[in-house]
Amino acid sequence: MKIAIDFHIHTALSPCADEDMTPNNIVNMSVLKGLDAIAITDHNSVENCKACMQVAQNKDIIIIPGIELQTKEEVHLICLFKDIESAIIFQKLVYNKLPNKENIPEIFGRQLLFDAQDRIISENNKMLIASVNITLNEVFYEINKLNGIVIPAHIDRSSYSLIGNLGFIPNELQIRTLEVSKNCNINKFLEKHKNLNKYQIIQSSDAHYLWDILERESYIEVATKNIDSIFEALK
- Band (pLDDT 50/70/90 cuts) for residue 171 is confident
**What total number of domains does the chain contain?**
1
pLDDT of residue 170: 83
Question: Is a pLDDT exceeding 80 seen at residue 166?
Answer: no
Reference 79, options 2, 135, 153; nearest CA is 153
Q: DSSP 3-state assignment of 203?
A: strand
| DSSP 8-state secondary structure symbol assigned to residue 156 | T
Q: Which residues pair with 78 in a beta bridge?
A: 68, 151
Q: Which residues pair with 137 in a beta bridge?
A: none
pLDDT of residue 59: 96
- Band (pLDDT 50/70/90 cuts) for residue 174 is confident
Question: What is the domain range of residue 24?
Answer: 2-234
- Band (pLDDT 50/70/90 cuts) for residue 216 is very high
What CATH number does residue 158 fall under?
A: 3.20.20.140
SS3 content of the chain, % helix, strand, coil (to 5): 30, 25, 45
CA 196 to chain centre: 21
- Band (pLDDT 50/70/90 cuts) for residue 165 is confident
pLDDT of residue 169: 83
Question: Rg of the chain over CA atoms, in angstroms?
Answer: 16
CA distances from 181 to 8, 59, 91, 130 (A): 9, 27, 25, 21
Q: Which residues pair with 31 in a beta bridge?
A: none
pLDDT of residue 12: 98
Question: Is a pLDDT exceeding 90 seen at residue 194?
Answer: no
What is the mean predicted confidence (pLDDT) over 213-224? Answer: 95
Question: Is a pLDDT exceeding 80 seen at residue 76?
Answer: yes
User: Could you read off the pLDDT of 11-69 as tens digits, one per residue?
Assistant: 999 999 999 999 999 999 999 999 999 999 999 999 999 999 999 999 999 999 999 99
Do residues 180 and 155 touch, judged by C-beta distance below 8 A?
Answer: yes
CA distances from 167 to 101, 157, 203 (A): 30, 11, 20
pLDDT of residue 146: 97
The span from the CA of 139 to the CA of 153, in Å, is 14
pLDDT of residue 167: 78
Q: What is the largest CA-CA distance in the chain?
A: 47
